[in-house]
């Protein structure tokens, strides 16, 4: 895909990082094989796992890393082997629509000034347990309501012009786990003068099943903490996606709820504020709650409410933790940078006389 849009889907290289060859990856590759028009090539990067004859079974190119290095390094390895002018990154646990490549090609051809586009999960995830439903619908809602002119990037299903990807230096391979490597790359692209677009019609189906434990690990360890540290490091706090004004206000409301519930032990009248705070939380998130109710009914909505409140609570705690961590590091750095006080020479001591010399 050139800047003037004269080249089409055949110039798109799909890159799929995979840490294991499982049913999710096979289903992903099956659906990539059904896209029409087809991409110029599909590259599967095996991150330290056995091949199992993927090239012959699915007609893909396989790049095998000898040891596990994480999805950031795997995507970079795929990009180095790619021949296309557009790098379309697709996670191994999604199911793509038949028109995926055509959508990406059209989006970039229609706006030559755009360097990258990304989409979202759809609102019909494969896993139907409560936690998976909540997590995937929240992702869908956040991306679908994000600013069209994006301040970040998403590698679950996102495309970058090769020249922009190389200029930015690719994904940061310091992220050895699935984390915020795509968000970090998006920030570098924007600071480099590249524009990124959210393509709301570009939706993929997520196959991952979440438990409460895996949700907390993913949201806190792999997202909230590193993302907050990145924000503090770059001194950039975007008003978009999970950091929108309504999300920040919701976090404040949830913290106030906790404070009122705790304070009610000493001042029971504080409980009078709880219904007002709950109403404020519902009002701030009414569109998301309407989506949950529409897709799964009122019972699912009532079950999702505490999960959503928990999300705002641990996000707030993670942000506070990183703020304290950042302030402590800066204080230590200031102390270490202070010049050591000069040692004053002690005055000469008067001559002493021994008893024998007296």
Task: Give the confidence band of 70 by pLDDT, cuts at 50, 70, 90.
Answer: very high
Q: Which helix (H) or strand (E) holds 253?
A: helix 245-263
Q: What is the pLDDT of residue 353?
A: 45
Instruction: Single out the residue of 154, 152, 159, 151 nearest to residue 139, CA to CA.
Output: 154
Q: What is the pLDDT of residue 203?
A: 97
Task: Give the confidence band of 4 by pLDDT, cuts at 50, 70, 90.
Answer: very low
Most confident of 8-17, 81-90, 345-354: 81-90
What the block records as the tokens of 260 is 């009122």
Is the pLDDT reported for residue 218 higher than 50? Answer: yes
Could you give the count of Cα atoms lying within 13 Å of 79 in the half-sphere of its Cβ? Answer: 25
| ∠ Cα 125 23 124 (to 5°) | 10
Q: What does the pLDDT look like over 279-292, one tens digit per residue?
A: 999 999 999 999 99
Task: Give the confidence band of 235 by pLDDT, cuts at 50, 70, 90.
Answer: confident
Which residues face 62 on adjacent strands?
Answer: 44
Task: Give the confidence band of 348 by pLDDT, cuts at 50, 70, 90.
Answer: low
Is the pLDDT reported for residue 264 higher than 60? Answer: yes
Phi, psi of 209 (to 5 degrees): -105, 125
Higher pLDDT, 346 or 338: 338
Which residues face 161 on adjacent strands?
Answer: 86
Strands 94-95 and 114-121: unpaired
* Ordered structural domains, the chain, with CATH: 9-210 (3.90.550.10), 245-334 (no CATH)
| Rounded alpha-carbon distances, angstroms, from residue 246 to 43, 86, 254, 270 | 39, 35, 12, 24
Q: What is the pLDDT of residue 2?
A: 44
Distance CA(62)–CA(50), nearest Å, equals 11
Characterize 321-330 residue by residue with b for buried, 16 or more Cβ atoms within 10 angstroms of its Cβ, and e for exposed: ebeeeeeeee
pTM: 0.88
Average the pLDDT over each of 43-47, 179-183, 254-258, 333-337 and give the range with the smallest value. Answer: 333-337
Q: Average the pLDDT over 131-138 and give the result.
A: 97
Reduced to 3 states (helix: H, G, I; strand: E, B; else coil), residue 61 is strand
Task: Give the confidence band of 342 by pLDDT, cuts at 50, 70, 90.
Answer: low
Q: What does the pLDDT look like over 9-46, one tens digit per residue?
A: 779 999 999 999 999 999 999 999 999 999 999 999 99
Cα–chain center distance at 338: 38
Task: Give the confidence band of 237 by pLDDT, cuts at 50, 70, 90.
Answer: confident
């Amino acid at each position: 895909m050139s800047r003037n849009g004269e080249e089409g889907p055949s110039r798109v290289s799909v890159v799929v990082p995979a840490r294991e060859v499982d049913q999710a990856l096979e289903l992903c590759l099956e659906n990539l094989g059904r896209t029409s028009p087809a991409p110029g090539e599909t590259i599967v990067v095996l991150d330290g796992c056995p091949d199992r004859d993927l090239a012959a079974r699915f007609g893909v190119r396989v790049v095998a890393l000898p040891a596990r290095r994480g999805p950031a390094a795997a995507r970079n390895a795929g990009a180095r082997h790619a021949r296309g002018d557009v790098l379309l990154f697709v996670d191994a646990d999604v199911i793509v629509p038949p028109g995926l490549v055509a959508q990406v090609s059209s989006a970039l051809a229609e706006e030559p000034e755009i360097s990258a586009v990304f989409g979202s999960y759809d609102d019909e995830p494969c896993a139907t347990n409560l936690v998976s439903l909540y997590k995937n619908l929240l992702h869908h809602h956040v991306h679908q309501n994000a600013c069209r002119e994006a301040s970040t990037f998403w590698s679950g299903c996102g495309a970058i012009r090769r020249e922009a990807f190389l200029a930015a230096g690719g994904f940061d391979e310091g992220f050895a786990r699935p984390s915020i490597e795509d968000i970090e790359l998006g920030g570098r692209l924007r600071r480099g003068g590249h524009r990124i677009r959210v393509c709301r019609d570009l939706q993929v189906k997520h196959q991952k099943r979440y438990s409460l434990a895996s949700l907390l690990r993913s949201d806190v360890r792999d997202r909230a903490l590193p993302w907050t540290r990145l924000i503090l490091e770059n001194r950039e706090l975007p008003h978009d996606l999970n950091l929108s004004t309504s999300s920040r206000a919701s976090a404040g409301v949830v913290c106030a709820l906790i404070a009122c519930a705790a304070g009610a032990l000493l001042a029971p009248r504080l409980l009078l504020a709880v219904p007002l705070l709950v109403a404020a939380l519902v009002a701030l998130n009414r569109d998301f709650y309407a989506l949950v109710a529409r897709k799964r009914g009122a019972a699912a909505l009532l079950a999702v409410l505490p999960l959503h409140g928990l999300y705002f609570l641990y996000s707030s705690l993670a942000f506070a933790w990183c703020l304290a961590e950042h302030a402590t590091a800066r204080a230590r750095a200031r102390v270490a940078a202070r010049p050591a006080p000069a040692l004053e020479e002690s005055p000469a001591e008067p001559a002493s006389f021994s008893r024998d010399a007296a």
